[in-house]
Amino acid sequence: MMRNGCSRLFLWVVTVWMMCSCMSHHTSAVVDTPPEKWYSAVQLDYPNCDTLENRNVNLLTFYSTDSPKSITLVVEVTSPDGYKAIDTVTCNLPKEKHGRNYFEQQTTFRTGTVMRHTGNYKVTITPTDTLRGVWAVGLNTIYDNGKR
C-alpha cells in the first residue's frame, strides 16, 4: 500500500514539474569568468527543446564596481547541426546602488529568433579587451511577448 501511494506522489510531482517547465517563459545558462583578469573565451552549453517559438536572446552580465562602464563581447553560437552565428555586443554596465556588492545586466542582441534544432547550442563569449570586475556571463532567452 505504501509503495502505491509513493508511486502516485512521484507521478504527481513529475507531472507538476513538467507543467511548470513547459510554462516557463525564459531559459538561462551562465558561466563564470575570471573577475581579476578576463581576456580569453569562455564556453557554455545552452540546451534547447523548443524549435517553434520566437524568442529574444539576451546577454547576461554579472559584475562588480571594478568593471568598466561598458564592455564589448564577441558571442559565437554554434547550433547542434554546426551552423555558426557571430555577434559583437556592447553592454552598458550601470552601477546603481542597491545594497549588494554585485550588479546584473541584460543586453538584448537578437529578437524574434527561432532555435530550429533540439540539443545543446555551444556558446562562446570572448571579450575584445582584458576586463576586470566581470564575474560571469551567459544567455537568457525570453519568449516574444510572453507567449506560451
The cell numbers describing 11, all together, are 507521478
How many Cβ atoms from other residues are within 10 Å of residue 10's Cβ? 10
Query: Which of 48-52, 62-66, 94-98 is the least confident region?
Result: 94-98
pTM above 0.75, yes or no: yes
pLDDT at position 148 is 44
CATH code of 32's domain: 2.60.120
Helix (H) or strand (E) holding 25: none
pLDDT at position 99 is 66
Q: State phi, psi for 146 to the nearest 5 degrees.
A: 65, 15
DSSP state of 38: B
pLDDT tens string 110-131: 998 888 999 999 999 999 999 9
Using CA atoms, how far apart are residues 23 and 141, in angstroms rounded to an integer?
A: 14
The one-letter amino acid at 64: S
pLDDT at position 98 is 67
Strand extents, DSSP E, 15-146: 26-32, 42-48, 55-63, 70-78, 84-92, 103-113, 119-127, 134-143
11: in domain:
no
Band of pLDDT at residue 9, cut at 50, 70 and 90: low
What is the number of structural domains in the chain? 1
Cα–Cα separations (whole angstroms), residue 4 to 10, 12, 37, 100, 148 = 10, 12, 56, 48, 34
Dihedral sign, CA of 38, 43, 46, 47? negative
Band of pLDDT at residue 58, cut at 50, 70 and 90: very high
20: in domain:
no
14: in domain:
no
- Res 19 pLDDT > 50: no
85: in domain:
yes
7: in domain:
no
Does residue 98 or residue 12 have the better pLDDT? Answer: 98
117: in domain:
yes
pLDDT at position 12 is 55
pLDDT at position 52 is 87
9: in domain:
no
State the residue range of the domain holding 70. Answer: 26-146
C-alpha closest to that of 45 among 30, 56, 32: 30
8: in domain:
no
